[in-house]
Amino acid sequence: MTLKEVFDKHQIDIKHLNVDALDVQAGHETYQRFDRFNKKYNPFSQSDLREIFLKTDNYIGGRYLAEITQEMFATYDAYKYEFCELRISVYGININYCNNLIGKSPKEWEKVSEWINKYQLYSHHNRWMIQVPRLYEVYKKAGLINSFQDMIDNIFKPLFEVTLNPSINPGLYKFLLQVVGFDCVDDESVYEKTPSSSMFLTLPENWKHSENPHYSYWAYYLWANIYTLNNLRKARGLNTFGFRPHSGEAGSPDHMMAAYLLADGINHGIKLNKVPVLQYLYYLKQIGIAMSPLSNNK
């Protein structure tokens, strides 16, 4: 389809195209509602427009998103003191998403690094963060993975391999030199069972349940792999990665407790004001908190 055909399909009049009509600005009803906030990434509330403009893996190879990113970099490069950390998602599956699941594709890391290098999305004013959505339950139900270990392998195995042998994927090796850390994200307000000792005694290869592991379980295995990978990269004189997950945007204090033990910093952390002792521990250990004073207090 041409872009005009897409717009015609959704009855979008080009003459009346403006920021307000896009309906992507967060209003009062979106604050502290992850589900509503997430929908704002769909221009005109249409998911296929999100696919076209905001995805790296689509029928046009992420061209639009790359061009928007290039424009942003040009703006930042014109200023001396403005910097950013753009996030790009790695889902932990080896599937090509172009509208429908249409079969096997090269591994995710290969596709991401190919996109970065094809469009030369490097800037002295940007470093990349890797965002891991906690979507085990979705992929398990879809039959895309068999166990939690599959997700961990898909996320980290290529990174260990290319660190040991850069020649197997020079593009990924180059991209990782511009990566500064890992984030993990999902709707923290979704109900979770209280974590139990039996949950933590279940190894990832044996986690074949249909439900998503608890936030703490996710955090531990992401941290453990990042920690081990960092030791390997440090021994080889390479850059290392921080662990800075979304935590305390909503949901249980358990999330912020796990992050206190494992994270280099967190995003949001607004629920710390409900647990003063934990807030004080974050202060004593100087664990950084990245937050938006506007949206996080609305």
Residue 297's pLDDT is 67
- Biggest alpha carbon distance in the chain? 60
**Token digits for 224?**
């453990």
Residue 57 has pLDDT above 60, yes or no: yes
Q: Any catalytic annotation for residue 255?
A: no
- Burial track 172-202 (b if 16+ CB lie within 10 A, e otherwise): bbebbeebebbbbbbbbeeebeebeeeeeee
Active-site hit among 214, 246, 255, 268: 268
Q: What is the pLDDT of residue 68?
A: 94
Segment (H or E) for 1: none
In the predicted structure, residue 158 carries a pLDDT above the cut 50: yes
Supply the mean pLDDT for the chain. 89
Are the beta carbons of 19 and 12 closer than 8 angstroms?
no
| Strand-pair partners of 3 | none
pLDDT over 90 at 33, yes or no = no
φ, ψ (nearest 5 deg) of residue 204: -55, -35
Confidence (pLDDT) at 298: 61
Decide: helix, strand or coil at residue 118: helix
pTM for the whole structure: 0.89
The whole-number pLDDT of residue 223 equals: 98
Per-residue CA distances from 243 to 79, 192, 285 (Å)? 28, 22, 15
Mean pLDDT of 163-174: 97
Delimit the domains of the chain by residue range: 1-54, 61-243
Lowest mean pLDDT among 64-73, 83-92, 238-247: 83-92
User: Nearest 10 degrees: CA dihedral of 197, 201, 205, 210?
Assistant: -20
Please, are residues 88 and 56 in contact by the beta-carbon 8 Å criterion? yes
Q: Which amino acid is at 180?
A: V
Residue 83 banded pLDDT, cuts 50, 70, 90:
very high
pLDDT in tens, 86-109: 999 998 875 544 333 333 345 889
Strand 288-290 to 265-268 pairing: parallel
